[in-house]
Structure 1
């Protein structure tokens, strides 16, 4: 089942002739967690989507309000009567003819979902090893902070990780600083200080990144700093953890010969769940 422009359809096949998202990557998306039939961080997702549409010069329909955004997501997930926890992808693409220059700025949207086993965020256990992905770099510019359909670096990086037995890879910007993992933002801890790359370094403007920064400031004994992180910092850190909306927090156990604890990741996962579900 999919939600295509507000219509629930059995068939997810969308014609590609006028689908600029398929033809040119002229599309953006949000990955959203629905837990116990509640959309988590819906305002943050909505306003990030609206901001990305404006940056990409897409025409935002007058009815595309926060309420409409939430209604369309639940309209789809509520068709599933056997589960209440979902991973949702809300995709927006520019429609119409044209080549690089579109003949219209109007948009279509499509919403799809997958069921999740639990509403809670659970910290991973066992080995989780990372490595640097050096075949391509992410540029320090505004489009790098958006969730666009241009994810070739993340795709080839994922293949590299899989072929070499790593659980994830870290991406570098054009100044060779670490900015994020393949599908997550990154945080590193030195004692009581937690550091994460700033958006000006080119990292994704992650929704969970925003939540974790807020939780650290309000509810923990740690301090948070946004700054550039070099690969050398990884070897000196006490802890590395990754964040995204679906997984929550993932604790890294090893980078090359360095092993890490999960003190902050454990504490923050508990605070995150308490803030959402208690």
Structure 2
């Protein structure tokens, strides 16, 4: 079931002139639902609003925090997922018309949901090997921090990973720094320091990234540092892990000849789940 501009339907009518399809002129949020609530919904909402403003989309009067939450929960109810865990994708596209220059800055939206197995974030200890993806690079600029429909680097990188039997790939920016994974933000642990690339490097303004930075900043045993990560640092790290709004924390077990522990990731996952329950 799809919520298309507030109407539930199994057959939404998408025009061939949809700007999201023609130009990637769209933004989206992927949100975890469990226990009757949307995890970190306020952060998702304000990131969406900021992205729409940066892309000069008109924000409808009905796009309030409460109203959009209701639209998301309508899909949960329609899919009989109220007592389950689910991921929801909310996509906002600029209305059709024009070529590169839009004729209309108003927007449409659609939402769909998919059932998840686990009610909270869980940590897998399965083998999880990554490699650098160097065919294309992420621009170190503001647009790269937004969750837009322009994800062709992530698509081609995912194909590369599958063809070469990697669980994921790490992306480099135009400065040749490691900026993120294909599907989330990157954290590096070395001793008592935990590093993650700053937004200025072009990494996604991740929701779980934000939560973990806040969590780590309150811990006495670790120091959080937002700093560029060189590829040479990867094999010197004690741990590497990836974060996103659906998985939570995904430890990396191997990069080239280096294998990693996941002690810090386990510790942080418990704190993340606690924050999600309170949030």
Q: Which residue of 1 aligns with 2:17?
A: 18
| C-alpha spacing 1:4/1:252, structure 2 compared with 1 (3 Å) | same
**Residue 43 (structure 1) aligned with residue 42 (structure 2):** yes
Are 1:62 and 2:53 matched, yes or no? no
Distance 2:151 2:13 in 1: 20
| Native 8 Å contact 2:196 2:225 kept in 1 | yes
Structure 1 gaps, min length 5: none
Aligned partners of 1:259 and 1:271: how far apart in 2? 25
Corresponding residue for 2:233? 233
Distance 1:156 1:51 in 2: 27
Could you tell me which residue of structure 2 aligns to residue 249 of structure 1?
249
Q: Is it true that 1:28 corresponds to 2:34 in the alignment?
A: no
Whole-Å separation in 2 of the counterparts to 1:222 and 1:151: 33
Q: Offset at 1:220?
A: 5.9
**Gapped runs of 5+ residues in structure 2?**
none
Counterpart for residue 116 of structure 1: 116
Separation (CA, whole Å) in 2 of partners of 1:220 and 1:113: 39
Secondary structure at the counterpart of residue 130 of structure 1: strand
TM-score with structure 1 setting the length = 0.97
- 1:221 CA displacement: 2.2
Aligned counterparts, 1:178-193, within 5 A? 178-193=178-193
Q: 8 Å contact 2:196–2:229 — kept in the other structure?
A: yes
How far residue 234 of structure 1 moved from its aligned partner, in angstroms, is 0.2
CA-to-aligned-CA distance 1:40-63 (integer Å, 9 cap, x gap) = 111100000000000000010112
Give the structure-2-normalised TM-score. Answer: 0.97
Query: For the structure 1 residues 144 and 131, does the alpha-carbon distance in structure 2 shift closer, same or farther, using more than 3 Å as the test?
Result: same
Map of 2:264 onto structure 1: 264
1:202 and 2:216 equivalent? Answer: no
Distance of aligned partners of 1:198 and 1:6 in 2 relative to their CA distance in 1, 3 Å threshold? same
* Structure 2 CA distance for aligned equivalents of residues 220 and 18 of structure 1: 54
Q: What SS class does the counterpart of residue 236 from structure 1 fall into? A: coil
Aligned to 1:78, the other structure's residue is in SS state helix
Q: Is the 8 A contact 1:27 1:92 kept in 2?
A: yes
What is the number of equivalent residue pairs in this alignment?
277
Distance in 2 between the 1:138 and 1:274 partners?
Answer: 33
Deviation at 1:16, TM superposition (A): 2.1
Q: Partner of 2:218: helix, strand, or coil?
A: helix
Instruction: Deviation per CA, 1:193-219: give whole Å up to 9, x if none.
Output: 100000000000000100111111124
Asked if 2 retains the 8 angstrom alpha-carbon contact of 1:16 and 1:23, the reply is: no
What is residue 71 of structure 2 aligned with on the other side?
Answer: 72
Instruction: Tell me what 1:129 maps to.
Output: 129
Deviation, 1:79, is 1.4
Name the residue aligned to 1:96. Answer: 96
Q: Which moved more, 1:226-235 or 1:81-90?
A: 81-90
2:7 alignment partner in structure 1: 7
1: CA distance, partners of 2:250 / 2:256:
18
Q: Structure 2: how far apart are the matches of 1:4 and 1:271?
A: 36
Cα displacement (A) at 1:80: 2.5
Partners of 1:276 and 1:112 in 2: how far apart?
Answer: 22
